[in-house]
Amino acid sequence: MSVLTGLESFVRQSEPLAMHTWFQLGGPAEYFAEPETVEQLVTLVGRCHEEGVAMRMLGQGSNILVRDEGVPGMVIHLSAPAFCNIRIQGRSLIAGGGALLGRAVTTAVHRGLAGLETLIGIPGTVGGALHGNAGTRSGNIGQWTLEATVMAANGEIYQRSSDELVFDYRQSSIDDLVILDVSCPLEEDNPHELAQRMQKQWIVKKASQPMGHQSAGCVFKNPRGSSAGELIDDAGLKGTRIGGAVVSDRHANFIIAEPECTAQDVLRLIDLVRSQVRDRMGTELELELEIW
């Protein structure tokens, strides 16, 4: 029996990952799965666990850089409707791990539920957002999350409640393989005022960050008490280029991939920025972007 036996209807081999990421760079996944149901996901994870096949969860690909040589093992994409449901129950928003964060935010706002509107404009899925505790200066998803249903790498499903969920700047205590759904208790507010606050936040974001380019959000985490973008800018690195990878002129913590860019160009530019900021500013930058 091969790893794929019986799973052929939702697993492909040698799937190019570039088209699944915001950078649109990098090589293929050895295996790529888009299960349609939780049962299929349980079977898939169980099989990979037994066969010792490494698994990775792909959200919307907005915070990862895939190396040019691609990734070994199984990449799992929760794109099927079974994983993308968003509903309101009382004052809580319940969202599937595969749902788009932007849709979750606007659903809450339109129903007059406040809390998540500060997250408008953050790309990616709800699962990806919770995994890295995505947020802005005004708030993060973790502070609004009470419960999460997760699947461990052995296929077991667990409920993680608030006392087990610890969030910090761009990190969460959830180390389970899959985030199946999250529950966020929110606060009632005037839908009209909420929508206005959301729009304002969106305008500020659009003005300060590059949009409509091939990039993947902030590359580095902000060091405690300072801003990676400001440090890179002060080091004089805006516009620095390696191959097709360029440090954004608009916000220095973004790297733009121009046509012909390779993942290797981005990796080399990351190393350059890091070493120049270390030498010129005396600060060691830590990656926010995940490298696959």
Active site residues: 170
Q: Which residue has the tokens 């077991």?
A: 156
**Contact range with ligand EPU by CB under 6 A, out of 22-30, 149-157, 219-227, 258-266:** 219-227
Q: At what angle do helices 101-110 and 191-208 cross, to 10 degrees?
A: 150
Under rule CB under 6 A, residue 34 binds ligand EPU: no
* Nearest distance from C-beta of residue 54 to ligand EPU, angstroms: 26
* Nearest distance from C-beta of residue 226 to ligand EPU, angstroms: 8
Strands (E) in the chain, as ranges, are 11-16, 28-33, 55-58, 64-65, 71-77, 86-89, 92-96, 113-114, 135-136, 139-140, 147-151, 157-161, 167-168, 171-172, 178-185, 187-188, 241-242, 245-247, 255-257, 290-291
Evaluate the CA torsion angle 148, 152, 157, 158 in order and state its sign: negative
Rg of the chain on CA atoms, in Å:
20
* Nearest distance from C-beta of residue 291 to ligand EPU, angstroms: 15
Residue closer to ligand EPU, measured from CB, 28 or 217: 217
The torsion of the CA quartet 47, 50, 55, 59, rounded to 10 degrees, works out to 40
Under rule CB under 6 A, residue 288 binds ligand EPU: yes
Residue closer to ligand EPU, measured from CB, 159 or 208: 208
| Interactions with ligand EPU, residue window 220-279 (CB under 6 A) | 221-222, 227-230, 233, 251-253
- Which residues are paired to 16 by β-bridges? 28
Under rule CB under 6 A, residue 290 binds ligand EPU: no
- Which residues are paired to 167 by β-bridges? 172
CA distance 111 to 194: 10
Residues in the chain: 292
Cβ–Cβ under 8 Å, residues 93 and 108: yes
Residue closer to ligand EPU, measured from CB, 92 or 133: 133
* Nearest distance from C-beta of residue 282 to ligand EPU, angstroms: 17
Under rule CB under 6 A, residue 79 binds ligand EPU: no
Residue closer to ligand EPU, measured from CB, 149 or 248: 248
Nearest to 124 by CA among 179, 164, 54, 187: 179
What does residue 203 show for φ and ψ, rounded to 5 degrees? -65, -45
* Nearest distance from C-beta of residue 66 to ligand EPU, angstroms: 17
> Would strands 171-172 and 86-89 be described as parallel, antiparallel, or unpaired?
unpaired
Residue closer to ligand EPU, measured from CB, 95 or 219: 219
| Interactions with ligand EPU, residue window 184-213 (CB under 6 A) | 208
| Interactions with ligand EPU, residue window 133-162 (CB under 6 A) | 136-137
Residue closer to ligand EPU, measured from CB, 147 or 230: 230
Q: Contact letters (x/-) for ligand EPU, 99-138, by CB under 6 A?
A: -------------------------------------xx-
Cβ–Cβ under 8 Å, residues 47 and 21: no
* Nearest distance from C-beta of residue 104 to ligand EPU, angstroms: 17
Under rule CB under 6 A, residue 218 binds ligand EPU: yes
Interface with ligand EPU (CB under 6 A)? 136-137, 208, 217-218, 221-222, 227-230, 233, 251-253, 288
